Structure 1
Amino acid sequence: MKDDQKNFILFAVIAALILFGWPVLQNKFFPAANPPVTKIVEGKAQVVPNPSADPAADAPSAVRDRTLVLRETPRVRIDTPTVSGSINLKGARIDDLILKTYKETIAKDSKPIRLLSPSGSPDAYFAGFGWRDDGLKPPAPDTVWKATGDVLSPGKPVTLDAANAQGQRFRIELSVDDGYMFTIRQTVANAGAAPVPVATYGLVNRNGVFKEPDTWTVQVGPMSAHNGGADYGTNFSDVDEAAQKFSTTGGWLGFTDKYWLTAIVPDQAVPFDGQFRAGANKAYQADYSVTPRLLAPGKALTQTSRFFAGAKEVRLLDRYTDKEGIAFFDHGIDWGWFRIVEKPIFYYLDWLFRMVGNFGVAIILLTFTIRGIMFPIAQKQFKSMAAMKTLQPKMKALQERYKDDKPRQQQEIMQLYKTEKVNPLAGCLPTLLQIPIFYALYKVLLLTIEMRHQPFVAWIKDLSAPDPATILNLFGYLPFTPPHFLAIGIVPVLLGISMYFQFKLNPAPMDDTQKQIFAIMPWVLMFVMAPFAVGLQVYWITSNCLTILQQRVLYARHPGMKEATAK
């Protein structure tokens, strides 16, 4: 009786630790999936507003104030296949940018993501370029530059022109590619009587921190690449305490959240000093400057930098790194330690998507591929499981015989394994091999913008978000929202069912407590997995179904194994 009570208490403690301890670990190491893009109301999917998708969300007051600010200064329009906006001729700033191909929500009439906004408007976010005043007397921040054109587009650069009273003329030639990269060529022509020091700078300035939290898994906030690596260790609170500085040759710096990045990129062959610093009213700035060079009278000096403002598309960031030589620009996506597994999985999954046109189907095909590769290992696993089932009566007899002598009991059981040539750990190998794959898929769904707002079937409009079809409020027919840990959708339930049948294939534990734990584990994991992306659950359900199918195939090929297991 005492043993039963101890087993029950142990079982209750373990179940409580899993149910209530997991959310703590999840918030630190496994951030929840993206917020659902739809909610189910009376059985029908409705689009959920998602202003947090926009770093400068279009609240009514923000639209009014921003429009007013934009009208206050002369501007050059930006128009490319991917972005639209304008350049502020007052101060030569890129401070108005909309991402044409990305929307805040999945609604047809949803507004596109606005990434940059001018100073003086709520959520200001802009880039500027100029020269240090080390005796050069460059144009002031309120200088209104003259432009050679009224539209900046790929293949059609625009040059801004200004001068000072000492005889120096300043030009900023702006060009843009078909992605999100601007090239800035800053030229000083010295028509004065004396040499002048010339040192360019670039900056990105934003008001406030990002709406998404900075976590162990996803870098959100200040980010840079310098001195041979990417720096994910700086956050806004560090900048609040003191300016974060570095010196390097090659690299970049800016601000990132999950999907969007702004980055100033100095000439990769020129040493520069970079820093993050905080200003008044929660303003933050990333800036760089180069060492001054003395410019003789009658000479001109051109220095080139670049500015990225847009979506962190994997292929695009790789292109800027591999083909255009920007050091570690592909690290703008925080792949982490598993990038060696994550990036191949992304590229293969993206290739499958381009073949079939549906990311959910692509995830299923990915699962088939992985399980096919691991089929020989899975065969050994099932053989080991069947052998363990065959040994259970003998193991039970040994446990009864030596129940008062635990060391002897373990010794005899190990001898039994050796005699019967059974490895009790052989069945764990496929599971262990799938852990890095499972985690890699988790990061791919969490980080890559290619997965954002990708539908699957029926009510599943975003594979990177949890299942919105919650059962406890009868799919929205009951007027209440279940607590987060009880928001169980249809897909998590299917996951629990598939896990239940898969667990039935495993050898039954000898210990009663273990039996109770294994009996409830599928349903506990159902709650644990519910907040994760539906795409991850689709992978797991498919994997479980294939495991059950492989067991049937194995029994069909080895009928003696099934008979032995039955006995």
Structure 2
Amino acid sequence: MDDKRNMVLAVVFAGLILLGWPYVANHFFPTATPPSTQISGGKQTALPAPEADPAADSPKAIRDRAVVIAETPRIPIQTPRMTGSINLKGARIDDVVLTGYKETIAPDSPPIHLFSPAGTKNAYYAGLGWTGQGLNAPDTNTVWKASGAKLTPETPVTLFHDNDQGQTFTIELSIDKNYMISAKQTVTNRGTSSVGVAPYALVNRIGAPTDKSTWTNHSGPMGVIDDAADYKWNYKDLAEQMGTPETRATTGGWVGFTDKYWLSAVIPDQKTRVDATLRAAKGDLFQANWAAKQEVLAPGKSLTTTSRIFAGAKETSLLEDYADSGIVKFDRAIDWGWFRWFEKPIFYLLDWLFKLFGNFGVAIIALTFIIRGLMFPIAQKGFRSMAQMRVVQPKMKAIQDKHKDDKPRMQQEIMELYKREKVNPMAGCLPIFLQIPVFYALYKVLMLTIEMRHQPFFGWLKDLSAPDPLHVLNLFGLLPYQVPGFLGIGVLAILLGASMWLQFRLNPQPMDDVQKQIFGFMPWVLMFVMAPFAAGLLLYWITSNVLTIAQQKFLYSRYPGLKAEPKTADAK
């Protein structure tokens, strides 16, 4: 009767996992980046990225964007990794294209358009300026004059404006070979009276992006305030408290918007006390800015403030380089979480292997070999412990039968048996427990790092950070429909279930029939659970299972007792 009850509970539990897991995963463990391809009619085609700027998605949007850009005088931006332009009307950086990244995996896919000017859908831009008592500061309609024809790493540009009331304004802009713009703002007072001057820098965006903030990865407004990275802000909260901005004073740090792969940030001088603010306004507008304290500028005096603007990809080593150069915790723009101390070494090892082999899938397989190699001695001890447990199983069964009505006495007798036979029942589980942090670290790497975005393996696996697109239930794309939800069982998920089933079959079989049945269907439950995850994660698990099976075969040859059927024992 108890066995039947346990079996029913096991089946119910498996059903709850299958039905409830998608809801849990969407909140706590988003499975992968959105699918980058689909297979229909036997052909694989690229899908548009949901987080892509609409300005890069359709001819109409591109034309509109181009029209808006052509309406104002501009200074081009050109670096090895970025193109775009500075809008001289308002001194805005509102045209940034990341030439090293494409919207989709299609060969003719347009590059990422990170910034677009006001007047386009999903406008997104950065700006610099001043406020102050008695100061007629330049505004969004001011047309600046420029000293140069193009902003490049070799040719800085200075913007100039005279307000005809005694004050002149200059913004000296320079850019590095990546995505960082440095700005030196200077106000000179040639008037006859003092004025108040408070410099600022801002990032504005219209509408929240499709990148959603999750339990494992923050996407949205953020900043580093007084040496602490703050991930608590989100677009919804800012919109709900419209008119009551979040403002905090800080020395050092930065503020901006982080998406899954992209970042915009305004970075004040790291030794100057400023107010960092996040706010929402009508029209679905969100703003991140810093503002310095107002200073009184006497006649004949000048005030200069330095700051930086970042608009680019969240490349791990690049963000760390900027942090090492003095931008406080700039690398925290990637939300590694509490276990960054373990996740980042896994990333750097995987990235090194990727550069070595030139194929991300091969790098994952090589990483699996390294991890399993390091764990081999521990696994060997675990198998030895399993062999010992196999020997004492009949004695445990006899104790359970003898004291089935006295649970405390049963547990006491079993513990004495462990001590007498020098058996550690948990030793066999140690290899599994040690793999959990590695598996989670790889999950975070595949979810967060742009270095893994759109990386192929071979054949139909064009993006290992996205789910396997080759689904069984539509006959691998031959039937004209997309499989919904967790029913999207791909080839990798089937290989995962089969390899886990074989691994369980090679393990010493439990004496309890209910446990045997649970171990029999658990691989197929996990097949459904893991199907929506990144293909790279499944590739790691499949490789690990294959190596475990090979290791089991090897250790069985050394410990034949592990495979042998246990002999019966009496209650004595």
The Cα shift of 1:546 comes to: 1.4
Partner of 1:151: 150
> Structure 1's 333 and 565: CA in aligned 2 closer, same or farther, altered over 3 A?
farther
> What SS class does the counterpart of residue 472 from structure 1 fall into?
coil
Partner of 1:465: 466
> What SS class does the counterpart of residue 151 from structure 1 fall into?
coil
> Matched residues in 1 for 2:459 and 2:367: separation?
21
Give 2:286's aligned amino acid. Y
1:247 alignment partner, one of 246, 249, 260: 249
- Map of 1:302-381 to 2, 5 A cutoff? 302-322=304-324, 324-381=325-382
Partner of 2:139: 140
> What SS class does the counterpart of residue 225 from structure 1 fall into?
strand
> Structure 1's 566 and 527: CA in aligned 2 closer, same or farther, altered over 3 A?
farther
Query: Which stretch of structure 1 is more off in the superposition, 257-266 or 71-80?
Result: 71-80
Query: Which stretch of structure 1 is more off in the superposition, 293-302 or 184-193?
Result: 293-302
> What SS class does the counterpart of residue 161 from structure 1 fall into?
strand
Partner of 1:555: 556
CA RMSD, 1 decimal: 1.7
> Matched residues in 1 for 2:503 and 2:451: separation?
32
> Matched residues in 1 for 2:90 and 2:290: separation?
17
> Matched residues in 2 for 1:280 and 1:199: separation?
25
Partner of 1:301: 303
* Paired residues of 2:48 and 2:57 also in contact (CA < 8 A): no
Question: Structure 2: which 5+ residue stretches go unaligned?
Answer: none
Give 1:410's aligned amino acid. Q
The Cα shift of 1:346 comes to: 0.7
> Structure 1's 55 and 428: CA in aligned 2 closer, same or farther, altered over 3 A?
farther
> Structure 1's 51 and 214: CA in aligned 2 closer, same or farther, altered over 3 A?
closer
Question: For residues 336-391 of structure 1, what are the alpha-carbon distances to aligned partners after superposition, in whole Å with 9 as ceiling and x for unaligned?
Answer: 01100111111111111111101111111111111111111111111111222222
* Paired residues of 1:251 and 1:265 also in contact (CA < 8 A): yes
> Matched residues in 1 for 2:552 and 2:566: separation?
12
The Cα shift of 1:498 comes to: 1.2
> Structure 1's 399 and 462: CA in aligned 2 closer, same or farther, altered over 3 A?
same
> What SS class does the counterpart of residue 527 from structure 1 fall into?
helix
> Matched residues in 2 for 1:202 and 1:56: separation?
25
Give 1:19's aligned amino acid. L
Give the TM-score normalised by structure 1.
0.96
Partner of 2:519: 518
Query: Which stretch of structure 1 is more off in the superposition, 117-126 or 12-21?
Result: 12-21
- Map of 1:24-423 to 2, 5 A cutoff? 24-54=23-53, 57-242=56-241, 243-322=245-324, 324-423=325-424
> What SS class does the counterpart of residue 152 from structure 1 fall into?
coil
> Matched residues in 2 for 1:187 and 1:102: separation?
35
> Matched residues in 2 for 1:509 and 1:483: separation?
37
The Cα shift of 1:404 comes to: 3.0
Give the TM-score normalised by structure 2.
0.95
Partner of 2:22: 23
> Matched residues in 2 for 1:505 and 1:401: separation?
30
The Cα shift of 1:447 comes to: 0.3
> Structure 1's 557 and 512: CA in aligned 2 closer, same or farther, altered over 3 A?
closer
> Matched residues in 1 for 2:354 and 2:442: separation?
14
Query: Which stretch of structure 1 is more off in the superposition, 73-82 or 31-40?
Result: 31-40
> What SS class does the counterpart of residue 515 from structure 1 fall into?
helix
* Paired residues of 1:56 and 1:116 also in contact (CA < 8 A): no
> Structure 1's 189 and 552: CA in aligned 2 closer, same or farther, altered over 3 A?
same
> Matched residues in 2 for 1:137 and 1:49: separation?
46
> What SS class does the counterpart of residue 148 from structure 2 fall into?
coil
> What SS class does the counterpart of residue 98 from structure 1 fall into?
strand
Partner of 2:11: 12
The Cα shift of 1:101 comes to: 0.7
Query: Which stretch of structure 1 is more off in the superposition, 446-455 or 40-49?
Result: 40-49
The Cα shift of 1:565 comes to: 6.3
Give 2:498's aligned amino acid. I
Give 1:69's aligned amino acid. V
User: What count of residue pairs does the alignment treat as equivalent?
Assistant: 565
Give 2:115's aligned amino acid. L
> What SS class does the counterpart of residue 51 from structure 2 fall into?
helix
* Paired residues of 2:55 and 2:65 also in contact (CA < 8 A): no
The Cα shift of 1:150 comes to: 1.9
The Cα shift of 1:248 comes to: 0.4
> Matched residues in 2 for 1:477 and 1:448: separation?
33
* Paired residues of 2:487 and 2:528 also in contact (CA < 8 A): yes
Give 1:235's aligned amino acid. N
Partner of 1:539: 540
Partner of 1:450: 451
The Cα shift of 1:431 comes to: 1.3
Query: Which stretch of structure 1 is more off in the superposition, 115-124 or 413-422?
Result: 413-422
* Paired residues of 1:55 and 1:211 also in contact (CA < 8 A): no
> Structure 1's 447 and 566: CA in aligned 2 closer, same or farther, altered over 3 A?
farther
Identical positions, percent? 61
> Matched residues in 1 for 2:158 and 2:168: separation?
13
> What SS class does the counterpart of residue 194 from structure 1 fall into?
coil
The Cα shift of 1:564 comes to: 7.3
The Cα shift of 1:263 comes to: 0.2
Query: Which stretch of structure 1 is more off in the superposition, 426-435 or 512-521?
Result: 512-521
> Matched residues in 1 for 2:219 and 2:434: separation?
30
> What SS class does the counterpart of residue 337 from structure 1 fall into?
coil
The Cα shift of 1:562 comes to: 4.6
Question: For residues 225-279 of structure 1, what are the alpha-carbon distances to aligned partners after superposition, in whole Å with 9 as ceiling and x for unaligned?
Answer: 1112111111012211331111100000011110000000000010000111111
The Cα shift of 1:288 comes to: 1.1
* Paired residues of 1:225 and 1:231 also in contact (CA < 8 A): yes
Query: Which stretch of structure 1 is more off in the superposition, 501-510 or 167-176?
Result: 501-510
* Paired residues of 1:238 and 1:244 also in contact (CA < 8 A): no
> What SS class does the counterpart of residue 463 from structure 2 fall into?
coil
* Paired residues of 1:185 and 1:304 also in contact (CA < 8 A): yes
The Cα shift of 1:57 comes to: 4.7
* Paired residues of 1:249 and 1:269 also in contact (CA < 8 A): yes
The Cα shift of 1:142 comes to: 0.4
> Matched residues in 2 for 1:394 and 1:379: separation?
24
